Amino acid sequence: MQSYTKPTRHRPADAASRIPEKDLDTASAAARDVSQTLLEAAADLQMSDFDIDFAGMLQTLAAAPLTGGGEAVQSRAAPAATSAQAVQASLAAIAASPLGSLAWRQVNAEAALRTAHTQDAAGAVHGALHGVATGLKDMFDYTGHAAQWGSLLRQHVPRSQRDATVVARLRAAGAIPLGMLHMSEFALSPTGLNDHLGPGRNPHDAERVSGGSSSGCGMAVGAGHVPLAIGSDTGGSIRLPAGFCGVVGLKPTQYRVSRAGAMPLAPSLDCIGPLACSVELCAAAFTVMAGPDPLDPQCLPVPAPTGQWRTLSAASLSVAVPHLPEDAPISADMRRALQCTVGLLKDRGVTCIPAKLPDMALLGKLNAILMAAESAALHRATLHQHPECYGGQVRRRILQGLFLDATSYYDALRLRTRLLHRFVAETLSGADACLLPTASGVAPLVSDTIAPTQDHVVAQVTYWTRSMNYLGVPALAVPAGTGEQRLPLSVQLIGPPLGEEYLFALGQLLET
């Protein structure tokens, strides 16, 4: 193993003197920690091991496409009521909810009702999401509105003149956008912390976090304001609020859903996906949003799924169940929930196979390198000019990237394909999905996430999620009973690249 020499910490040239020294110290220490791990993991990389086309490798290692096996049942996720009644019910729920004013940054009641009445007057089904009231994380271009990205820095940006691709596709399928939802500042807190707007709070216990960074999505769906919300996931930001708030959330395969018109955080890791009240609705929303987009050149040239997952029988499915060591960061309640989930799958006829747990700590730190480097590049100029406009936790996380060297970033990219191959070959080992916790247990207390130890809480909360962003594979968070104080627990089903349909089939087995 190569030795590691601790570098002398130099203040980055573009770190303004107004940035607190303690933030620079914390960021520098975090960068040294992940650099040490990277150096050890990359010790056997050769000069011939270069950064290859990761998007192409995702297609090479893709799950077998679903064909035949019976006629797919086409589902429409429309509400039983009229579109206008569905929107009015959502507006009433928001008004009556203690979390209504926190979860929603803006509610566009008049526009939503106009759209709903137009649908009802047409007298025909408009699409797969006809009449579904939908919330949008405040990071998407949305015609006539200015996305704030959870930041003070965007209070005066001009209103958007067009919809993000995912918003346009949702509208085309009949969904009715209701407004913009709370989010962590620049999507950089997995607990839902936002120093400017207040922390995301859990609909099951307001003293607990909602999870983030799609905090408003978790709150709005978990509290019953809307059945569907659209968020983003760079290290767990869909799955964590879904898990903590007791709903379903999908992080798709990397590059499978267009990011055109969406706020970037770390483009190598960013994914757009749905949080929903059911697996069926989550699948319907994903099907609408997925598919190539000329406005996003990185979007995979892979068509949206056809719904064949509904024809899969439980007996045809298999799940890899890794052994979790005794010292794994997981509560006793979560361990019992996993055991119960395995029992439920077996009872329904699914084959459960013992499997090797990937190195979650390593994968998480490699994710941290890509996220820190790419977010620092995007924010460097603004952070230099206005450091006081960033919350403390967000500022420290971005600063880490300024202390990373280019070789660390490139080595993290070079290792990505190797570790994806290893995950598919060793952990999935021919199974349709892998079963892991979404989080170590129930949602932590808000007070623990705003204390001096908050950076430790961030690392702990994302332990089970951020590795899958690094690998680029799809992951579906589904409810798995309750833990302490009857708060939601959640498991995630993780598939091979482009394996979302297998996850929907398994998720619906657990749901029913």
- How do residues 336-378 score in pLDDT, each as one tens digit? 999 999 999 999 999 999 999 999 999 999 999 999 999 999 9
**Tokens linked to 205:** 């216990």
Helix (H) or strand (E) holding 362: helix 360-385
Nearest to 56 by CA among 250, 253, 252, 251: 253
3-state SS, residue 66? coil
d(CA 254, CA 57): 11
Give the mean pLDDT of 304-309: 92
In the CATH hierarchy, which top-level class contains the domain 55-360+413-511?
A: alpha beta
Question: Which residue blocks in 401-487 are alpha helix, DSSP H?
Answer: 406-422, 446-449, 454-461, 466-471
Query: Active-site residue numbers?
Result: 137, 213, 237
Interacting residues of 241 by C-beta distance below 8 A, sequence separation 6+: 192, 200, 210, 211, 212, 214, 215, 217, 218, 219, 222, 231, 249, 275
- Residue 192 · residue 200 · CB < 8 Å: yes
The one-letter amino acid code at 451 reads A
Strands 205-209 and 201-202: antiparallel
pLDDT at 386 over 60: yes
3-state SS, residue 257? strand
Nearest to 247 by CA among 269, 230, 234: 230
d(CA 343, CA 509): 12
The one-letter amino acid code at 264 reads P
pLDDT recorded at residue 6: 38
Phi then psi dihedrals of residue 510, to 5 deg: -70, -40
Confidence of residue 45 (pLDDT cuts 50, 70, 90): confident
d(CA 209, CA 219): 10
Nearest to 177 by CA among 211, 223, 207, 145: 145
pLDDT at 447 over 50: yes
pLDDT in tens, 118-162: 999 998 888 999 999 999 999 999 999 999 999 999 989 999 999
Helix (H) or strand (E) holding 352: strand 351-355
**Tokens linked to 446:** 């808000």
Mean of the per-residue pLDDT values of the chain: 92
Confidence of residue 512 (pLDDT cuts 50, 70, 90): confident
DSSP string for 196-220: TT---EETTEEEEE--SSSHHHHHH
d(CA 147, CA 162): 12
pLDDT at 217 over 90: yes
Interacting residues of 406 by C-beta distance below 8 A, sequence separation 6+: none
d(CA 66, CA 50): 33
Confidence of residue 7 (pLDDT cuts 50, 70, 90): very low
- Supply the angle between the helices 406-422 and 21-41 in degrees, to the nearest 10: 50
Confidence of residue 452 (pLDDT cuts 50, 70, 90): low
Nearest to 29 by CA among 384, 372, 467: 372
Helix (H) or strand (E) holding 321: strand 318-322
Share in percent of the chain as helix, strand, coil (round to 5): 45, 15, 40
Give the mean pLDDT of 315-319: 97
pLDDT in tens, 246-296: 999 999 999 999 999 999 999 999 999 999 999 999 999 999 999 999 999
Interacting residues of 469 by C-beta distance below 8 A, sequence separation 6+: 233, 234, 235, 236, 251, 254, 269, 271, 367
**Tokens linked to 94:** 């928001």
pLDDT recorded at residue 11: 53
Phi then psi dihedrals of residue 319, to 5 deg: -130, 130
> For 15-29, 191-205, 322-336, 342-356, which range has the lowest pLDDT when averaged over its residues?
15-29
How many helices and strands, by DSSP H and E, does the chain display? Answer: 17, 13
Interacting residues of 401 by C-beta distance below 8 A, sequence separation 6+: 31, 372, 373, 374, 375, 376, 377
